[in-house]
Amino acid sequence: MNFSKSFRNTFLVILLSLIVSACATKKTTTTVEGQMQGDVYTGTDTVKYLADGVPDRVFFATNESILTTKSRDTLRKQANWLRENSSINVVVEGHADERGTREYNLALGERRANAAKDYLITYGISADRISVISYGKERPVDSGSNPLSWSKNRRSVTVKAN
């Protein structure tokens, strides 16, 4: 009797701890989700600023070069800043995460950098002030091998050229 009771208790403890750990796992995912929308990074960990309130980078979904609403907002801020600082030229660097073949990623980085460049041009910035370079998967900012790290690496970064 006693034995089976303690056995049952142990079982309950195990069950409870399983539930708790399941919750813990779930909680971690939510934290990650707090920094990602879909698989686009929305956090600020790696972001630098070209000027006060002007983030230097935008993030992309896997295999995509489509600009999100937030990315367009960031790029409009960059365009405003570039208009106010007409002597500054920029390089837009395009990057991909490590989960693709090297050559395709070079092309994808190029495509992402140009998506950002085109948007800046639409907002009145002259094309000859913006050059692009793709690094493919060669220059990650986050060296982890997990979805959050990859989302930080799928980016285009606007860098002062002079």
Return residues touching other proteins (CB under 8 A): 63, 65, 98-104, 106-108, 110-115, 117-118, 132-135, 138-146, 149
- State the nearest-atom distance from the C-beta of 98 to other proteins, in Å: 7
- CB nearer to other proteins: pick between 50 and 106: 106
- CB nearer to other proteins: pick between 51 and 129: 129
- State the nearest-atom distance from the C-beta of 145 to other proteins, in Å: 4
How far is Cα 4 from Cα 155, in angstroms, rounded to an integer? Answer: 58
User: Can you read off the two tokens belonging to residue 37?
Assistant: 């929308």
- CB nearer to other proteins: pick between 55 and 109: 109
- State the nearest-atom distance from the C-beta of 40 to other proteins, in Å: 18
- CB nearer to other proteins: pick between 8 and 160: 160
- State the nearest-atom distance from the C-beta of 144 to other proteins, in Å: 5
How far is Cα 103 from Cα 83, in angstroms, rounded to an integer? Answer: 35
160 backbone dihedrals φ, ψ, rounded to 5° = -65, 135
For the purposes of burial, counting CB atoms within 10 Å of the CB of 142, is it exposed (0-12), middle (13-18) or buried (19 or more)? middle
- State the nearest-atom distance from the C-beta of 106 to other proteins, in Å: 5
User: Can you read off the two tokens belonging to residue 95?
Assistant: 């990057």
Q: What is the DSSP letter of 54?
A: E
- CB nearer to other proteins: pick between 88 and 98: 98
CB neighbour list of residue 102: distance below 8 Å, 6 or more residues apart: 136, 137
